[in-house]
Amino acid sequence: MHIMVDLARHADEGPISLKSVAERQKLSEHYLEQLVPELRKAGLVKSIRGAQGGYVLAKKPENIYIGDVIRVLEGPIAPVECTNQSGEDCCEKTDFCVNREVWVKVRDSINDVVDSISLADLLKDAGNPESEGMNLFEEVD
Amino acid sequence: MHIMVDLARHADEGPISLKSVAERQKLSEHYLEQLVPELRKAGLVKSIRGAQGGYVLAKKPENIYIGDVIRVLEGPIAPVECTNQSGEDCCEKTDFCVNREVWVKVRDSINDVVDSISLADLLKDAGNPESEGMNLFEEVD
DNA sequence: TTTATATCCTACTAAACCAATCGGAATTTG
DNA sequence: CAAATTCCGATTGGTTTAGTAGGATATAAA
């Protein structure tokens, strides 16, 4: 999420190196290197190799939903494993199908939320601290 | 959840031993022994010690919500830790407050779901397999 | 063509969490 | 007293997540 938000925020500056993302987001470059190939394979970012290379969003921030990012990096969003399976495979434990009703509702509700928020929405809500010097959570003193 | 559903289903039979719950739910009695004291401390079940003892629901199934059960056994329901804290403590990572918006919405949506379903709702939806011989997920062949 | 800047790739480590196990003490009924 | 049952503390094994390590490959610019 940090990577994607950072890329969205600097979308007009050409390729963004992981090094600069890591500095701004206070994360290890090596750690980001481990994550970003997944985003690339999933078609969310494009890579430009070599000097002055880096990453750019593959689509406009308006068209990239938080749910896509999460699912790429963490797999299907589900509170329990059996909500990813068809109903028949999951219920050796007698009452689990009763409970499964709950988990399916939870799963759908989570996915509805994350699929309704785009990167553009996030930047809009928060303003752009770096260019405008403001932050939603900044205390006024 | 298995324990609570089982107790709800046998609510009119006096104290229910963990042994019988474990057999019906195909779970280890020892495992349940580890969980149920939390439910007792939280006032969701009452215990009767000694021979012919066991557990009973402390309230009517209509008044016990799934969210209460989950929170007792697993702590606050939150997709990331910082949604349990006030906004100031959580954001050494520059963009985290932007993302926090998402997690707060996810958290609230999950809690809304689990706080809207009672044990009674679950039993009603699923019928009572043991007394009626039916099951939502049973194939017709 | 060399060099610096990047991505790319494959392991490995450390900590936390969850389900489950083990052994035994305390309480109550019959 | 004896059996049934709750109660309690310690431990284990598996999985997941964040993060580290080291080096190979590609490209732009000097």
How confident is the model over B88-98, as pLDDT tens digits? 555 665 565 77
Distance CA A83, CA A102 (A): 10
**Domain membership flag for residue A137:** no
Q: Are residues A46 and A70 in the same domain?
A: no
User: Which two structure tokens, joined as six digits, stand for A115?
Assistant: 């699929």
B37 falls within a domain: yes
Please report the pLDDT score of residue B127 as a whole number: 57
Q: What is the DSSP string of A39-85?
A: HHHTTSEEEE-STT-EEEESS-GGG-BHHHHHHHHH-S--SSGGGGS
Convert the pLDDT of each residue in B122-133 to its tens digit.
998 765 444 433
Please state, in angstroms and rounded to a whole number, the distance separating the CA atoms of residues B22 and B11. 16
* Per-residue pLDDT at B94: 59
- Indicate which of B95, B108, B112 best probes the interface with A, i.e. most A CBs within 10 Å of its own CB: B95
**Residue B81 pLDDT more than 70?**
yes
How many domains does one find in chain B? 1
> What's the CATH code of the domain at A26?
1.10.10.10
Q: Is residue A125 part of a domain?
A: no
Q: Which domain holds residue A106?
A: 66-116
For a pLDDT cut of 90, what percent of chain A falls above it?
Answer: 57
Total residues found in chain B within this entry: 141
Same domain as A34, residue A56: yes
A71 within domain boundaries: yes
User: Do residue A11 and residue A58 come from a single domain?
Assistant: yes
Give the pLDDT confidence of A80-119 residue by residue, as tens digits: 777 776 655 556 665 667 888 888 899 999 999 999 999 9
Measure, in angstroms, how far nucleotide D9 C1' is from residue B34 CA. 11
